[in-house]
Amino acid sequence: MPVHDLGYRTWRGERAAHFLRPLVVARAGIALVFKRRWLRIMLVLAWLPVLFPAFGIFAFEYSSTEPELQDMIVGLVSRPLQQPELGALIRNDPEAARHQVWSTLILMFFRYPQLFAMVALIGLIAPLLVSYDLRTKAYLMYFSRPLSPTQYIIGKSAVIWCLLGMVVTLPALLLYGMGVLLSPDLSVVQQTWDIPLRIFAASFVLLIPTTTLAILFSSLTAESRYATFCWFATWALGFVAYQILTFSPAAMSGDRPRRRRGPVDWEAMGVDLDRWRLLSPYHTLGKVQAWIFGLDTTSASVIPCVVLLVAITVVGFWIVRRRILARLSV
């Protein structure tokens, strides 16, 4: 017997409160996914797009002293971001334009690079969470402890929330912080105090339904590849279906958007951007996030999109919970 083998000894100590147990699941899950090298590389790569809005904010804050940077930021918001009015405002009254410029750049960061990063990250990580537990019957280990299915789901979801927070919320907050530090004085905080709150709200909208959907797919099968396929198929098919159904009438009528400065007037061409929006998770999220940042440009109400996201969350959670309870039933 080794000298350090003390045999069996009893243990009497203070135990952690039951409501803290999901944190253990989350911490273990995070430690587990961080063991994967490809994930660490992906996280670094997911941070790279923050350079573009960072440069935009930098250019805006120095536009008053550097005419070249002013031309650059005006060009950026007028053409790629299709907001010529904002470009004019930057030239005429930069102080008044600050809130909208920052919001636009951060929304752009949320909408384009980080949404795609989110889809890729969750698609690769989420199936590992519940599917693997089903395959290896690890749920027997989890639920032999004082852990409820709800706590288990929260713990597993928190793994994704943490990773998404790292690639979406944290860089967006850093962007805001960088903007404050680059601005002439701290009075800009008074103008832009709501932007961090909007960042949190937009992150919440992004994290909760998408995580629930991913966990749902993961819980439906012990084969993680099927869950991965379903996840990517949902986003890709939704995106393609929306594009085809929304823009095919205009394309078939032969109308082409006229080349001019500013946003394309789709409504004038008979295109209803909101009619098929609920088919596409990408566009549904985009509508709600744009509304949160006060930059929603389409006429339809945001409520159907919010209802859809809430429905995905509630129904998804219910199904996952039922799946787990079914596994535990004799």
Partner 1 sequence: MLDHAWPQQSRAIRDSIGYLPEDDCYIAGLEGIESVTLMAQLSGLPTGEALRRSHEMMDFCGFGEERYREVESYSTGMRQKLKFAQTLVHDPPLLILDEPTTGLDPDQRLSMLRRIRNLATQHGKSVILSTHILPDVRTVCDHVVILVAGTVRVMDTLENLSRPVEPTMHLSIMGDPQTLIDRVSSAGHSVRWNAQTGTLTVGGIAPDQTAQLWSWAAETETAVRRLEPAVNSLEQIFMDVAAGKKTSGSTQEIAAGLHAAGLDPEADRAGP
Query: Among the candidate windows 146-154, 157-165, 175-183, 300-308, which touches partner 1 by CB under 8 A?
Result: 146-154
Q: Which of 59/158 has CB closer to partner 1?
A: 158
How far apart CA 16 and CA 13 sit, in angstroms, is 10
Q: What do you get for the CA distance between the two ends of the chain, in Å?
A: 41
Is residue 329 within the footprint of partner 1 (CB under 8 A)?
no
CA 232 to chain centre: 15
Which of 40, 79, 91, 145 forms a contact with partner 1 (CB under 8 A)?
Answer: 145
Q: How far is the CB of 137 from partner 1 (least distance, A)?
A: 4
Q: How far is the CB of 144 from partner 1 (least distance, A)?
A: 4
Is residue 185 within the footprint of partner 1 (CB under 8 A)?
no
C-alpha dihedral sign at 312, 292, 168, 119: positive
Is residue 13 within the footprint of partner 1 (CB under 8 A)?
yes
Measured N-to-C along each axis, helices 84-92 and 67-78 cross at an angle, to the nearest 10 degrees, of 160
Q: How far is the CB of 221 from partner 1 (least distance, A)?
A: 15
Is residue 32 within the footprint of partner 1 (CB under 8 A)?
yes
How far apart CA 322 and CA 215 sit, in angstroms, is 13
- Residue 97, H or E segment: helix 94-111
How far apart CA 155 and CA 139 sit, in angstroms, is 13
How far apart CA 154 and CA 317 sit, in angstroms, is 10
- Residue 107 burial (C-beta neighbours within 10 Å; 0-12, 13-18, 19+): buried
How far apart CA 171 and CA 266 sit, in angstroms, is 33
Is residue 2 within the footprint of partner 1 (CB under 8 A)?
yes
Q: Which of 20/236 has CB closer to partner 1?
A: 20
Is residue 68 within the footprint of partner 1 (CB under 8 A)?
no
How far apart CA 171 and CA 51 sit, in angstroms, is 10
Which of 82, 136, 150, 297 forms a contact with partner 1 (CB under 8 A)?
Answer: 136
- CA triplet 167, 109, 69: central angle to 5 degrees? 125
Query: Among the candidate windows 94-102, 137-145, 213-221, 239-247, which touches partner 1 by CB under 8 A?
Result: 137-145
Q: Which of 8/38 has CB closer to partner 1?
A: 8
Which of 55, 62, 132, 200 forms a contact with partner 1 (CB under 8 A)?
Answer: 132
Of 76, 21, 34, 30, give the one whose Cα is nearest residue 54.
76
Is residue 147 within the footprint of partner 1 (CB under 8 A)?
yes
Binding string, 73-112, against partner 1, x = CB under 8 A?
Answer: ----------------------------------------
Is residue 324 within the footprint of partner 1 (CB under 8 A)?
no
Which of 60, 142, 242, 317 forms a contact with partner 1 (CB under 8 A)?
Answer: 142
Residues in the chain: 330
How far apart CA 219 and CA 209 sit, in angstroms, is 15
C-alpha dihedral sign at 164, 282, 179, 42: positive
Query: Among the candidate windows 17-25, 182-190, 246-254, 283-291, which touches partner 1 by CB under 8 A?
Result: 17-25
Q: Which of 28/302 has CB closer to partner 1?
A: 28
Is residue 140 within the footprint of partner 1 (CB under 8 A)?
yes
Q: How far is the CB of 10 from partner 1 (least distance, A)?
A: 5
Q: Which of 4/260 has CB closer to partner 1?
A: 4
Whether 300 and 274 have beta carbons less than 8 Å apart is answered as yes
- Report the interface residues with partner 1, using CB under 8 A: 2, 4-18, 21, 24-25, 28, 31-32, 35, 132-133, 135-142, 144-148
